[in-house]
Amino acid sequence: MSAFFPETDPFDTGRLDTADGHSLFWQRCGNPEGTPLIVLHGGPGSGCAPKFRTLFDPDRFHVILLDQRGAGQSTPHISLENNTTAHLIGDVEQLREQFGIERWVVFGPSWGSTLALAYAETHPERVRGLVVEAIFLGTNRELDWWHSEAGAPRFFPDAWADFVAPIPADQRTCARSVLDWCFNAMQAELAEGLPILSQLDTAEIETLRGSTLYRWTEYEDRLSYLNNPPDAVLKGLREKGTQYITAHSLIEAHYFRNKCFLDSDQLIRDAGKLADIPMAILHSRYDMVCPAESAFRLAEACPHADFVLVPVNGHGLTEAAQASLNAIMKRLLHRI
């Protein structure tokens, strides 16, 4: 029997129009009379997947999904204008006000954990409960881990070699150089009309790897599971489509180049603001995208939090991680 809940259709969808030119798509599912819970997706740039409608008990929770700026069905697509962490925090708060919700549970995986923590530290009085998974604190150390040879490439040298193959050797010396080169290459692809990525459904992997937008997301997906070979990644990305890859890669590079628009170690520095919020931290031992070190740091800064480490799992939300999330949510309901 699956640890995930059956997928439910949204009972309501709509848009949140901001004052600075963005229109954000949202959907609501589960029980409209249940405990309100907002899901903050990862990436940034990935948008909300249908899988998110299977994470929480639809009888107990009123689940709200929001596509962040430039991502998913939000428009303008892939826009980087007025697209910072502070803008996203403001969007979450505006959505809460629009729905007339006094306080809600906030859940975020990966980048979603970053945004959830930043939102909760900005508006602790509006957070009824906080659950973060696959912890990412937006620090230089984490960014260096992912995009420099001394980090994740030691465990995935083949994936790293495929990712950096077109990058000149003198641009691979540090994470910042890699980020800058990739961002500029992505911008050039977009200006040219996506000549390679437009062939996503038919081209072979080697052809698609001529696209930096493709390689960026492929690299992350290969690191996200204990075993996710290139052919499986390609199949999954074809199902998600060109728009997903473009938004995920470009917006992620935009945020990472700007250190996620956070001060140095800001989320740990301000963790004391979470002391009165029922909180849970879920992480997996073998997460190669967001190393477990960050989860342990957060747990130390928030000793009141329920901390669960999944012993055999990578970055992705699998059956093992979902079973732990279910147990966490049952405990949280008794605390809020």
Q: Exactly one of 41, 147, 315, 324 is catalytic; which is it? A: 315
287 is catalytic: yes
Contact partners, residue 160, CB within 8 Å, separation at least 6: 149, 152, 153, 219
Cβ–Cβ under 8 Å, residues 39 and 63: yes
For residue 86, count other CB atoms closer than 10 A to its CB: 12
CA distance 54 to 314: 19
Of the candidates 283, 287, 294, 324, the residue annotated as catalytic is 287
**110 is an active site residue:** yes
Structure tokens at 289: 């995208």
The burial of 59, by beta-carbon neighbours within 10 Å (0-12 exposed, 13-18 middle, 19 or more buried), is given as: exposed
Of 271, 295, 329, the residue nearest 110 (C-alpha) = 295
Active site residue 249: no
- What is the token pair recorded at 334? 């008794």
> Which listed residue (74, 110, 294, 324) is catalytic?
110
Strand, coil or helix: 219: helix
What separation in angstroms does the CA of 312 have from each of 228, 237, 283, 286, 328?
15, 25, 10, 7, 17
Active site residues: 110, 287, 315
